[in-house]
Amino acid sequence: MHTSSLKDFDSDIYQSIKKEQQRQEEGLEMIPSENFVSPAVLEALGSVLTNKYSEGYPGKRYYGGCEFIDEVETLAIDRAKQLFGAEHVNVQPLSGAPANVAVYFALLKPGDTVLGMDLSHGGHLTHGHPVTYMAKIYNFVRYKTNAEGLIDLDNLRQMALEHKPKIILVGYSAYSREIEYEKIKAIADEVGAITMADIAHIAGLIAGGQMNNPVPIFDIVTTTTHKTLRGPRGGMIMCKEKFAKDIDKSVFPGFQGGPHENNIAAKAIAFKEALEPEFKEYTKQIKKNIKVLEEELRKRDYKLCFGGSDNHLLLIDVTPKGVSGKEAQIALDKAGITVNKNMIPDDPRSPMDPSGIRLGTPAITTRGMKEEEMKMIATWIDEAIANHGDDAKLAGIKQQVAELTKKFPLYPTLK
């Protein structure tokens, strides 16, 4: 076994990691699905737990030597239950998409109908987009937002009555408004559907008490553990006790093999962090920051989809500014501001060169940035888009960004 350091053994990978660390430290990370984990979470991810196979669940493993692994996974489960008020929790899904797929396999038969949100209106690929394999197995019907940018509950009810779905699914990757879970539950009860919420983006805001919590209301809730929850990249399923056995069997052995216990330990740490009072203040600041960005960009005549934001993100149609979403993303990258190109509702352009960009405040809020910094950032975003073809101007903005980020060090102990 090699005992030398990463730097000494594999300088190529070491240098790539150091360059990525520098990019994160010197730039503004504004992709709303990204965040910065704590040093404790990083430590768990690189721990000896990565060496252990542990198929099964605590107390019911197929391999020996899992007594300490059981302690770790049980802590993760108990903390998640406390954080969200869940009856049952499975922390083994490797990410958000596998969590959703495991739910479908647990509850549906081929050909069953799922009523989910249209991708261009803020939904996720795994909510039934035709390019996914799930869309070949199950019948996905997709609802949209109305002219005001809100989920049209009357239309959703009519679609539910017409299609009689087995599952009504809510949740999103680019939608920026609150969801009325009780009203959707009432529609599901009317047609005998199972309720499912995908809170991957907003789990941290829910844990911090800043958004409605569907866990006590809905049958099934899936989430990632990164994004606003600020944990490691991974997934989780929470459900009512009546679905627990089917969900667990679907995750393992139905869909996955050995769980990644180093990742589960990191999840447990993130849940503990989210139970601290400081996390609530953090999530409050995420929302304060997005509202300042919304106000500043509105002043500059940006076209904000869905009428604004109730959470951590904004979806912006940049075509009135004379650029596509791809061009805006490239320009902002050159300016040291990372966003992602994104479809807007009923986008006439292609997914690889759409009309919009998606940006958010979780990561820059983690660094300690507040309202005054948001005003500066809005100015730079506007200047970068206005000067998207001027590399010298974009380089100048990048230098200003780097000066700002020096005041908000990311990992000062990791050098």
Active-site positions read 53, 55, 198, 224, 227, 233
Structure tokens at 344: 């807007």
SS3 254: helix
- Give the Cα separation of 370 and 408 in Å (integer): 11
- Give the Cα separation of 276 and 280 in Å (integer): 7
Query: How open is the CA angle 122-275-229, to the nearest 5 degrees?
Result: 25
Best CA proximity match to 237, nearest among 281, 192, 200: 200
Residue with tokens 């989780």: 236
Residue with tokens 């950032």: 377
Residue with tokens 């903005």: 397
Question: For residues 119-136, b (16+ Cβ closer than 10 Å) or e, as one string?
Answer: bbbbbbebbbbeebebbe
- Give the Cα separation of 59 and 66 in Å (integer): 8
77 and 91 in contact (C-beta within 8 Å)?
yes
Residue 17: its H or E element = helix 11-26
318 and 357 in contact (C-beta within 8 Å)?
yes
- Give the Cα separation of 143 and 152 in Å (integer): 8
- Give the Cα separation of 349 and 355 in Å (integer): 6
Order of strands across the sheet with 167-171?
A: 88-90, 235-239, 220-224, 194-198, 167-171, 113-117, 139-143
